[in-house]
Amino acid sequence: MADTSRSEQVDRNLPFYLNEFEDLKTFVCLRIRGALNYNNILSADSSQSELLSEQFDKIFNDSQNLNFVIKKINLIISNSRELSGQNFQNCSEIYEKYHNKTLQPDESVQDKLSNYIPIDLFKEVTVQDNPEQRYSPQFINHKGICRIQAFKIPIDCLVLVDPQTKIENLAEIILEKLNQHLQSVKNCYKSYYQNESNFKAETFHFYTNQDFLITCVYPNTFQDDSLVNLRKEIHSSLDLQSDRPILRRVDAFQFSKESNPSDVTQQFSKYLTNPHLSAKPSNVKNGKQSLVKGNYLYFHYMQDNFNDNGWGCAYRSFQTIFSWFRLQNYTTKSIPTHRDIQKALVDMGDKQKEFIGSSKWIGSMEISFCLNQMLNVDCKILSVSKGSELVEKARELQYHFETEGTPVMIGGGVLAHTIVGVDFDELTGDVQFLILDPHYTGGEDIKTITTKGWVAWKDMKFWSENSYYNMCCPIRPKGV
């Protein structure tokens, strides 16, 4: 689609580029994939900068001779008139032929992206019959030590087009976006390539619920932790939030038609996600609601065929909190088991060795220790001497959800719960807390869980007057 001022402001020396949506309701996504392979003969005195400059000059020059093929509908898209698709007038017709359905304006952006049209990339190697162009072999004689440098550049380029784009204009649009992609690949090589034989410039697409799609090209020889400064530059360039991860590899858009075993939605499909969204409304009139931000999983007794009935409520609350950090992509670690949690407490010296494998309960402080040990996450602890004093912490909880957005574990006596929201009327002092109860022992039935009050708004009567309560409020890491 046509570039706007945002695209023009992108730093052309960084390995990323944008696709901007002219209309979120109507666009066709084309996905160009293939590989460009080159072998260069280098003399011993060839510098890396010269190599890269010469190589990418050749790549950009050769890109003008590329053909784009949609195999399913036998369509070749090319600058050559005789290769252009004769049976289609515009991209809408291509979409309808390929998917056997019309474009749906009410589809989400994610669905439109997933319903892309795959296009294979081919390099034309035959010579056009042009009497003005005559070629003969060229031989270069070089005395000295030489080596062969292989370049294999995988291409994964998205092109967003208006459905009414005419077929005869499509090749030019694709080539323009492909050159942006190649420029990002070149930038990746310039910044990170060190003559490694296994070097690969990998492409990742990110949709951030804004009016543009971000494509980043990262070196496979660098882990995410080593690319923090690059991500900071991209965040700054696009005025993205600088206090949370958006452009890590794990944040990349997952096309629904592709099976990805690392996709968290597949990994955790057996658990309920955000059950509080199905809870009955709060009874506080004229209150201000502050809720958890982002996604989490609801963990409770007896899940995963593990009997922790009567002692594992705090462990389950910890798993819920840990899942929030996992689903927000602050970590790629698996959700810890009860044994993992116990071992972490022993390793840090908080518990003795016999604690591992036991049925001993833990509290808010142990939860904070484990979050710090496993995720390097700090926590704020809020304490009250009895349940009726929790109303005094309503404002602090509101501030926590508005600024941090993480679930809160609350422990009192031998019971633990998870707070994911607060509804507070400052004028009347009326308050309710949105509670996930880990003591539930049934299956993942959202109707039962919400109607029976296992996930529900609870008033002050829910808390015991005879218990001292600690609330563990995780502080979200501030970084990209």
437 is catalytic: yes
Retrieve residue 376's tokens: 């390097």
Retrieve residue 128's tokens: 């056009």
Q: Catalytic one among 156, 162, 263, 439?
A: 439
Q: What count of other Cβ atoms lies within 10 Å of the Cβ of residue 223?
A: 10
DSSP 3-state of 479: coil
C-alpha dihedral, 261 to 265 to 268 to 272, nearest 10°: -170
Per the CB < 8 A criterion, the answer to whether 300 and 275 are in contact is no
Q: Catalytic one among 308, 379, 437, 473?
A: 437
* End-to-end Cα, the chain, rounded Å: 28
Half-sphere exposure of 189 (CA within 13 A, CB side): 23
Closest CA to 322 of 306, 310, 301, 340: 340
243 is catalytic: no
Retrieve residue 104's tokens: 């749906």
188 is catalytic: no
Q: Catalytic one among 91, 188, 216, 313?
A: 313
Distances (CA, A) of 352 to 34, 77, 148, 344, 433: 56, 69, 60, 11, 35
Q: What count of other Cβ atoms lies within 10 Å of the Cβ of residue 366?
A: 23
C-alpha–C-alpha distance, residues 144 and 235, integer Å:
47
Burial class (CB in 10 A: 0-12, 13-18, 19+), 132: exposed
Per the CB < 8 A criterion, the answer to whether 417 and 435 are in contact is yes
Beta strands 117-123; 28-43: pairing state: parallel
Active site residues: 313, 437, 439
